Amino acid sequence: MRYSLDDTIAAISTPIGEGGIGIVRMSGPEALAILRRIFKRARGGSLASYRLHYGHIVDPRSGEVVDEVLASYMKAPHTYTRQDVVEINCHGGIIPLRRILELCLREGARLASPGEFTLRAFVNGRIDLAQAEAVLDIVRAKTEAGLRVALNQLEGRLSEEVRRLRARLVDVLAYLEASIDFPEDEIPARDLASDLEEARRGLEELLAHADRGLIYRQGIRTAIVGRPNVGKSSLLNALLRTSRAIVAPIPGTTRDTLEETLNLQGIPLVLVDTAGIVAETEDILTRLGIERSRKALAQADLALLVLDGSEPLSEADRQIAALVGEKAAILVINKLDLPQAIDEPDILTQAPRVRISALTGEGLEELERTIVEVVFSGQVLASEEPLVSNPRHKDALQRALEHVISAQEAHAQGLPADFLAIDLTSAVSALGEITGETVSEDLLEAIFSNFCVGK
């Protein structure tokens, strides 16, 4: 690593700001010694491990009391990092947290890098790389379903499957290398076709629900688009069940994009309310709003094209439908509470269509069901949570599968064992990237740089 894992690190592990409790965490060989220098236990005595001790943080130079705290010392190796760990629970405010952290640093600790506590847990063998990444997913989970997926990964379910498949491929690879290195020896025959097919099925099974796992983790960006005054902001408010966007009968009320996240049956749906799109306008602000609307539509995973059902289909509606193009979309015919002027619109003919009234709420449940069906391509939601929810893991699994398929083809063609061994070596390496057996230092730093400093 580019920095030492044997010194003592410290960081604030709770969000900066006012709160009931703030935590300063240390990990490393000097953690207990530093705590002893700055912490005065109210009743004296030793600092027993795995106990909360009441007392005060005191500046050892001036004798000034910094804060009243609860301090805990956790002895290695039964800790988060498998090193000695100290946690100081103080009052949650910027000043006491900063003062206590400064004392820790002055007494010999250094400031932790982003994710360094979890990195030490990985390097010291407490968790593998997939489990380490799950820690960040738990922190960032936007829905209960997303949290369950991350917890499954933290508990090692993905790692267990990946290790099982990798061990099978390593076993086959060892057989192939033995047959290459010792061709004159009588090596028992092995059903390689069966081995490779089992590995292929296992990889395909993991990848089968990977897209669903990514949805739970990352969410779906959903752009609500349409011409002015068709009810886009009203639809946003109706879906959120709160008055988030300004609604008025005057066209062009929305001048900029507005984002809110909705938990829809476990899917984090990032709703983007956009300005009404018109062909031409002289107003500079409106033009900027329309440009942002077009950009939001281009970046969206799903488009909700809103039509005013009380008015005939307009040329502007057709132009916006053309902008949607081949993107996954739902045609939302709004204002069902008014006399209808649209029967069966001839735009986005392949997209599902739902009639609603954003004003009364009629049709909203059907719209939500339709969104879920479109997002999951009509598949019935499985009771088992997907194991793969990380784009990096999906990419590694896909590469491993490609190499296994290539090895199968080489075996079917009767090619020498060398050809199979090359592909299986690459497959084993790809699977090792998931759990960390074959990960580079640069990749590790890239992964852990996404963590907050105190985790």
pLDDT in tens, 10-44: 999 998 888 889 999 999 999 999 999 999 998 87
**pLDDT value, residue 245:** 44
Closest C-alpha among 28, 26, 48 to residue 38: 26
Least confident of 131-135, 153-157, 274-278: 274-278
Q: Tell which wins on pLDDT, 380 or 315.
A: 315
Confidence band of 250 (pLDDT split at 50, 70, 90):
very low
**pLDDT value, residue 300:** 86
Q: Give the domains, in start order, of the chain with CATH numbers.
A: 9-128 (3.30.1360.120), 132-209+392-435 (1.20.120.430), 216-375 (3.40.50.300)
**pLDDT value, residue 204:** 95
Confidence band of 251 (pLDDT split at 50, 70, 90):
very low
Confidence band of 293 (pLDDT split at 50, 70, 90):
confident
Say if residue 98's pLDDT is above 80. yes
**pLDDT value, residue 289:** 55
Provide the mean pLDDT of the chain. 87
**pLDDT value, residue 97:** 95
What is the C-alpha separation between 155 and 255, in angstroms, rounded?
46
**pLDDT value, residue 339:** 93
**pLDDT value, residue 312:** 92
Say if residue 243's pLDDT is above 70. no
Say if residue 254's pLDDT is above 50. no
Residue 88 is classified by DSSP as: E
Say if residue 285's pLDDT is above 80. no
**pLDDT value, residue 183:** 65
For 81, 123, 421, the CA distances from 437, given in Å and listed in that order, are 18, 11, 19
- 405-422 average pLDDT score: 92
Helices 157-181 & 192-208 angle (0-180, nearest 10): 160
The answer to whether 104 touches 86, Cβ cutoff 8 Å, is: no
**pLDDT value, residue 70:** 97
**pLDDT value, residue 423:** 95
- 95-112 average pLDDT score: 96
The answer to whether 310 touches 336, Cβ cutoff 8 Å, is: no
Grouping H, G, I as helix, E, B as strand and the rest as coil, residue 108 is coil
What is the C-alpha separation between 444 and 46, in angstroms, rounded?
38
Identify which of 87-91, 144-148, 289-293 has the greatest average pLDDT.
87-91
**pLDDT value, residue 417:** 87
Say if residue 409's pLDDT is above 50. yes
List pLDDT tens digits, range 138-149. 988 888 888 888
Confidence band of 397 (pLDDT split at 50, 70, 90):
very high
**pLDDT value, residue 393:** 95
- 432-441 average pLDDT score: 90
Say if residue 277's pLDDT is above 80. no
Percent of the chain having pLDDT more than 70?
89
DSSP string for residues in 180-202? HH-TTS-PPP--HHHHHHHHHHH
Confidence band of 248 (pLDDT split at 50, 70, 90):
very low
Confidence band of 2 (pLDDT split at 50, 70, 90):
low
The answer to whether 27 touches 119, Cβ cutoff 8 Å, is: no
The answer to whether 279 touches 319, Cβ cutoff 8 Å, is: yes
List pLDDT tens digits, range 342-358. 888 888 989 999 999 99
- 422-447 average pLDDT score: 91
Say if residue 120's pLDDT is above 80. yes
**pLDDT value, residue 25:** 97
The answer to whether 172 touches 424, Cβ cutoff 8 Å, is: yes
Scored b (16 or more CB within 10 A) or e, 396-423 reads: bbebbbebbbbbbebbeeeeebebbbeb
Residue 325 is classified by DSSP as: T
Percent of the chain having pLDDT more than 90?
53
List pLDDT tens digits, range 153-204. 999 999 999 999 999 999 999 988 888 877 666 667 788 999 999 999 999 9
Instruction: Supply the pTM of this predicted model.
Output: 0.80
Say if residue 314's pLDDT is above 70. yes
**pLDDT value, residue 316:** 87
Confidence band of 366 (pLDDT split at 50, 70, 90):
very high
What is the C-alpha separation between 419 and 407, in angstroms, rounded?
7
**pLDDT value, residue 186:** 65
Length of the chain: 455
- 309-321 average pLDDT score: 90
Confidence band of 116 (pLDDT split at 50, 70, 90):
very high
